[in-house]
Structure formats: structure tokens, C-alpha cells
Structure 1
Amino acid sequence: MIPARLERSQLYVPAHRWHMIEKAVTSPADAVVLDLEDAVPLEEKIRARANVIRALTGLEFGGRLRVVRMNGLDTPFAYRDLTEVMEAAGERLDLLMLPKANAARDVQFVETLLTQVEAAQGSSQATGVEVQIETVAGVLNVREIAAASPRLEALIFGPGDFAASAQMPIEHIGERGAYDADYPGDRWHHAMQSIVLAARAHGLRCLDGPYAPLDNPDGLARMTRIARGLGFDGKQCIHPRQLDVVNAAFSQTPEEVAHAQAVVAALHEAEETGRGAVSLEGRMVDAANIRMAQVTLHRYAQERRTL
């Protein structure tokens, strides 16, 4: 059973920047991602790994999910990222993030290593895994990736690396620019919807990737609304100033909650009176409406627990 975790927002923190880690663990983020991959220069990789262990064992995250993004499996750092962090602080880690997952075997390799380390440590905790879908191969194989491991909890879209893999020109990561204005549709729709559908088919969460421009809150808000409209649960952030916009966009509005409560109340009334049909304000309520209302109230309950 996949844990019911609230991940409206993930805040990336370069793991070699200790002062940024200290600030992140008091931020409004639902999850703090201690990043060992792209945000860390090669010469800082080893020190960053030590900082991750120091943070997990020494800092109070205040209910925020503790996530570590390891380096990719095509690098010389991945194996030691996993084993050193898990051996020293595995009991304090909620989720391990694998970047650039290309196939199911990548997830299964990580699963095997995690199982080995946990067995050696005598740990009863099974650390969850999140994977980033950010290559052409990853998008083409996303169905198999989503079914690869019972540890898997979330699929995450990585627009920057995906654009590079597909040789799609972009101006800023996560932003719609001139090339998008010329295209008669949404250039990113196939990749993003594929990730959402694969995640939902296997009961996983799905998150959109980051929005790079920090001086365009309107652009961030628009891209966040698009992601929610496609069915994503949350979005990654690269700066604390983005968190309020993202959290708000992926939270249930008072109007949505009130409508969901009314739908569920109408269902209960129909059940109590023996009526087969459910109606609300003169309109028929079908099974899809009821399921959506239940999802809304479940997410609202999760959000209330974080207050």
C-alpha cells in the first residue's frame, strides 16, 4: 500500500549549501529535496553527501517529507549516494528520488540496493522511491516504469532534461516561450499526460517539474494551473518564494470543498431514503462526480493535517 502523502510542493536544495538546507526545513514546502545531482558541482559531490547525512540525522524537518535526490545511474556517484546515505540515515529518510529513469530495470536496480542495505541494517522500514521521467526513453517506457516496484510512490516530469533528450529548443525550463506560441497546441502535452496516466493507473502520485524564472510569478501561476488541470498532484520548486503560489494552486478551494461535501451529503441522503438516484440542486450526480468529491475531501483532510 502506497502511503498517502501530501506533496503539493517539493523544494530543491543544493546539498552542498548547508545554510540553504537549514532554511528549507522551516519553509512552507510539503517536501524538502536534498539534491545531490544537478545542483551540485562535481568537486562538491562528496561533501554534499555528508551534508545530507548531517541534515537527516541532526535537523528537525517539522513534518516535511525528507527526500534525497541521488545522482543518475550513469554516473560514478549513484551507488555511494544510496549506500552511504541509507547506512547512516536510512531510518530518517522518507523518499529516495531517482533522476533520469529510462526503463523499469533502473527502478528495480535501486529497489534491489535498498532492500540489501535495509536487510544488512536490520531495518523494518521500506524507503519509498520517486522517479523522474525526463528523457525520451523514460517517456516511451513510462508504463513499465510505473509498474516496476512496490516501493515506487511518484512519477515526476523533468522538462529541462526531457527537452534536451528530445532536442526541443526551450528558453527557460518549465516556461512556455516563442516556440510554444508558434506550435498549434501544447508541445509538452504528450509527455505530461503520459506521466499522469501511468501514475494514476498504478495508484502513484505525479508531480510537475520546476519553473525556472524567479521574476515571473504570473507565469509560475499559469504553469501551475496547467499542471493541476492535467491531473498532477504538485510541482517542484527551485526557490522558497515559489512555494506559496504552488501550494495554493494545488490546495482545495473553499468552493471545491463545499461542493464536494454537498455531493457526499446528497449520496448519504439517497442511501438513507432508499433512492437509487442521487441529485443535487436539480442535477443528477453520477458515480464520477461522487469519486471526484471523495478525492477532494481526502486531499482537503491531508491539507488540514499540515496546518
Structure 2
Amino acid sequence: MSENKASVGNREIGTKSDCYVEMELLSSGGIQLELKSKVASLFGKSITKLVNDILAFYKVDNAHIYLEDKGAVDFVLAARIEAAIRQLKKTDKEYLLPQLKENKLPTKKDIFRISRLYLPGNTPKLMLNAGIHKPNGLILDLEDAVSPNKKYEARFIVRNALRNLNFYGAERMVRINQGDMGLEDLRFIVPHYANLILIPKCESKEDIIRVDDEIQKLKKQFSIENDIWLMPIIESAKGVLNAYDIASASKNISSMAIGLEDYTADLGVQRTDEATESFFARNMLVTAARAASIQAIDSVFSDVSNMEALALNVQKSKGLGFDGMGCIHPRQIRVIHENFAPTVKEIDKAKRIYLAFLEAKEKGLGVVSLGTKMIDAPVVKRAETTIRIAEETGILEKNWRSE
């Protein structure tokens, strides 16, 4: 493309809920819009109005625009048109559709993050209904899931999704790129009320501090009062050995994850379902997370067709002390939730411990006992966590004490 031409979007076979835009700035002739859409008879006028509104906002008076619509919703159309214009005109002005009120809600540091679903940041069709599968978090991914030549335009999709996508109550997460590109990503994320930012390939506390400092600057600049949590991802041998330094680098870290595809590649070994090659790393990550009082999040399971192997993997993950794991397909969410959930036996034991604790507290006793066993504070805390998970996942009624 020349300096006066730009193209953005997707037009490959199978593309849905997206569009492809070619734009050329002209010296005269006004606005020439060539719209190709199967729904032009129904939505042609509204699409044309949106395009003209954005062009007017950026003071583009003369241009030829070829717009191939594949069923894109307004926030996708707006993102594509804006990305094309801003490749051609140097400006920091943003064309923003009104933000959904629920997309400004904050989250707490210790909310459940049992499942988090990765969504490629430049593929809107995978975003639109992802929340109906009820993951705890939706990750709009600007890193590995986006090809290098699409990363710039993906920022506009992710920004607009943060504002206008229905997350169905899931935590709004974004994985940024590494290094300076990741710092630039933040400008498209922080002002638009992301709840949590994943920082990839962390190897030292400095990786966290750089991102955290930039977030605080942007929060101040845009008057964002909500907390923005951080989830470092450990993906190398060096990162594993520095896990505690990373986990304790900022008070804004809520959780820490491990990425086993890159970690095993760094070791020069194959990743297996048995996961013996990653036992040390996963154990280190859980230990570091516990020492820093944050959540430990396990890696994604890459075989989306093998639910039995996934279930076994989740059970191992739970046994190691992880609080959740990533997923790359909606069908994995239910299996992850079911296998991280406490068993009936675990719930019954937790209830007995918790009730014994309450009874001792009411009687003013300094020692809690259950039968012939003494119960100390960490055991009570674990029981409380088990009950809370059971309540939140619907296994245990929240009014169980009155039954």
C-alpha cells in the first residue's frame, strides 16, 4: 500500500462478524463509499452513516473506501474504519462509541479465576458470544494469537470490545505484547476499564514494574479509579527461578500463571499429557504464589478434543495447588469447573471444620478441635475456601448452615 492507501480487517473464507476495509485518501472528489454486504438492504443506511460519521470526526473530506462487510457489529466496523484512517493520518484522536455501564464495573483481587478463555484480539466472531459459556474471565489476546502485521489494528478491536462487548459477567482481561509494544498496548486498554492485564514471558520483577508504572500513569491521566490487576505469565526457565520475585513485585498482582508451551520449548523437551517435564516448574509457581499471597493459575491444555485427558490434567493441577487454568475452547470450560470444584467428601469435611471453628469461637475457646484432632488456622482457612468455591459454583447452597 502507498502512503495514501491502507487496508485493515479480515476477508478470508469463513470470516464472520467482521469486515475488510480499503481506504485511499484523495485530493478531491468527496467521499466515495463502495459497500459490499449481503445485508445492505437492511443495514446499508446505518453502515453508511457510521462510516460518514467517523470520516467527519477525523475531517476526512476526500477518500475512496471499499468496505466488504461480513456481518460486523458497530464496534467492529468503527474499529476497522478508525484503524484505516489512523494509518493514513497522524492523530491520537479516538472515535469511541458509548461504553456499556457494566463494562466499567471493577473486580476484586481474590475473585475466582478457575477458568479464563483466550480470544484472539483480531477475530471478533470468537468474541461476540464467548461470555455465554460462563468462563470466569475472557482474555482479549494481543500477543501470540495475533499475527505481527495485524497487531496495530487488533488494538482497536480490543479497545472497542472492552467498551461494547457483552462479557456476561466475566472478568475483562487483556494479554498485552512483550516489551515496548506491550507498553504501547496499554494506551488502548487502561482508559477503557480492563479489569486485569496479563503480562507475557516474565523473567524478572522489572518486567512487572515497567508495566505497573505505565498503568499508574495512564490511570492518573484518564482519571481511572478502578483497580487494574496484573497476572504475570512465567514461560521460561529463568522466569521459574525468579517466580517469587515476580509474584511479589507489585501489590496489584492478583495471580500468576505458567505457560507450558513456551516453557517446555525453552527446556528443549516435548510437552506431554503426563506433565512430568513441567512438575518442578508448576510446583515452583504454586509455592511462589502462595508465598506472595496470590492465586496460582495453570497453563492451557492444548488438545481441545480430548476431554478425558483434560479432566485428568485439571485434577493434577488441583492436586498441585493451582486455583484455575486457562482454556482455548469454550468446551473446556465446563470440564475445568467440574474438576476444580470440591468433591462431596471435601465439602462435608470443610463444613465440619468450619462449624467446629464457629462453635469454638462462640465459646471463646482458643483451640479448635474436631473429634480427637486439633484444627489450626491454615486448615480453617482451607475449609473456608472450599466452602466458598462450592457456594459460588452452585454445588452448595449459600444458606447451608440453616438447613
Q: Same fold (TM over 0.5)?
A: yes
Q: Distance in 2 between matches of 1:154 and 1:111?
A: 14
The answer to whether the 8 A contact 2:356-2:369 is kept is: yes
Q: CA deviation at 1:275?
A: 5.9
Q: CA deviation at 1:290?
A: 2.4
1:286 to 362, 375, 379: 375
- Alignment-derived partner of residue 118 in structure 1: 219
Q: CA deviation at 1:274?
A: 6.1
- Alignment-derived partner of residue 181 in structure 2: 77
Q: CA deviation at 1:151?
A: 1.0
TM-score by length of 1: 0.88
1:59 to 165, 168, 189: 165
Q: Distance in 1 between matches of 2:131 and 2:358?
A: 42
The answer to whether the 8 A contact 2:256-2:294 is kept is: yes
What is the number of residues matched between the two proteins?
Answer: 289
The answer to whether 1:191 aligns with 2:281 is yes
TM-score by length of 2: 0.67
Tell me the alpha carbon deviations over residues 54-89 of structure 1, each in whole angstroms, 9 at most, x when there is no partner: 11111221211010000111xx632221112223x1
Greater Cα offset, 6-15 or 257-266: 257-266
What one-letter code is carried by the residue in structure 1 that aligns with 2:299? G
1:107 to 208, 225, 232: 208
- Alignment-derived partner of residue 137 in structure 1: 238
Q: Distance in 2 between matches of 1:264 and 1:18?
A: 45
The answer to whether the 8 A contact 1:6-1:303 is kept is: no
- Alignment-derived partner of residue 129 in structure 2: 23
Identical-pair percentage:
29
Unaligned runs of 5+ in 2: 1-107, 398-403
Q: Distance in 2 between matches of 1:162 and 1:208?
A: 12
- Alignment-derived partner of residue 183 in structure 1: none
The answer to whether 1:86 aligns with 2:196 is no
Q: Distance in 1 between matches of 2:364 and 2:139?
A: 50
- In structure 2, relative to structure 1, the CA distance for the partners of 1:126 and 1:292 (3 Å cut) is closer
Q: CA deviation at 1:272?
A: 4.3
Q: CA deviation at 1:34?
A: 0.5
The answer to whether the 8 A contact 2:264-2:277 is kept is: no
Q: CA deviation at 1:40?
A: 1.0
- Alignment-derived partner of residue 98 in structure 1: 199
What one-letter code is carried by the residue in structure 2 that aligns with 1:267? F
Q: Distance in 2 between matches of 1:141 and 1:277?
A: 38
The answer to whether 1:12 aligns with 2:118 is yes
Query: Which structure: greater helix fraction?
Result: 1
Q: Distance in 2 between matches of 1:141 and 1:276?
A: 39
SS of residue paired to 1:116: helix
Q: CA deviation at 1:277?
A: 5.3
Q: Distance in 1 between matches of 2:270 and 2:187?
A: 37
2:320 to 230, 242, 251: 230
Q: CA deviation at 1:142?
A: 0.7
- In structure 2, relative to structure 1, the CA distance for the partners of 1:126 and 1:273 (3 Å cut) is closer
The answer to whether the 8 A contact 1:118-1:126 is kept is: no
- Equivalent runs, 1:147-166 vs 2, <5 Å: 147-166=248-267
When the two chains are superposed, the root-mean-square deviation of aligned CA atoms in Å is 2.2
Mark the structure with the bigger radius of gyration: 2
Greater Cα offset, 268-277 or 249-258: 268-277
Q: Distance in 2 between matches of 1:270 and 1:36?
A: 51
The answer to whether the 8 A contact 1:8-1:234 is kept is: yes
Q: Distance in 2 between matches of 1:187 and 1:100?
A: 19
- In structure 2, relative to structure 1, the CA distance for the partners of 1:78 and 1:268 (3 Å cut) is closer
Of structures 1 and 2, the one scoring higher in RCO (CA 8 A, sep 6+) is 1
Q: Distance in 2 between matches of 1:82 and 1:208?
A: 24
SS of residue paired to 2:249: coil
Q: Distance in 2 between matches of 1:249 and 1:189?
A: 19
What one-letter code is carried by the residue in structure 2 that aligns with 1:289? V
Q: Distance in 2 between matches of 1:263 and 1:52?
A: 45
- Alignment-derived partner of residue 306 in structure 2: 216
